[in-house]
Amino acid sequence: SIDARVEEIRKLIVKGSLHPRVREAALGVLTKKCGDHWCQIEKGYDAEVDALFWSLRDPKSPLAMRYVRDHVTVDQFHGADKLLILKTGDCDDGSVLLGAMLRSVGYPVKLRIMQAKGADSWSHIYLLCGTPPTNPTRWKALDWSVESAVPGWQAPGAEECAKTGKPAGMTMKIKDYNVT
């Protein structure tokens, strides 16, 4: 079932967020220096979230992941520590690694699944990250697996569908899961 698959992804994010290599990778991004200053200002929440997103999406980053589909008949899941080595995966893999990195440095995350128009089942998963980290007032979409996406981008109609529960744009259904 979709709930069981999302639960497996949620568990991988929680476990990965406690892995020392995952935290080390996230801290490496956030403690990078630009001259005599930090590249990301301390407590610059949006900038930190964006920097972690780009550390996986930018091909020049040492943490960059390349999108590759799963096996033709099996939905495969990998732990965040393994993804740091593989540097490849699909939408759920990027959600696992980015979600684990974000949680390892104090950011709450949710998983959002969607069913696109023309798809007969749930077809995509990505993250929502809460800012500020304590008592979030806003949730930023982080869809790592779309090549042209930037932090905050979602499929057309996704936000409206999430609010109304009705199809919008290219989005038929949305369901959010807390990662606790």
Task: Note the pLDDT tens digit of each residue in 105-139.
Answer: 999 999 999 999 988 889 899 999 999 999 999 99
- Range scoring the smallest mean pLDDT among 24-28, 40-44, 108-112: 40-44
Q: 3-class SS at 43?
A: coil
pLDDT digits (tens, 9 = 90+) for 45-66: 999 999 999 999 999 999 999 9
Residue that is written with structure tokens 């200002």 in the block? 41
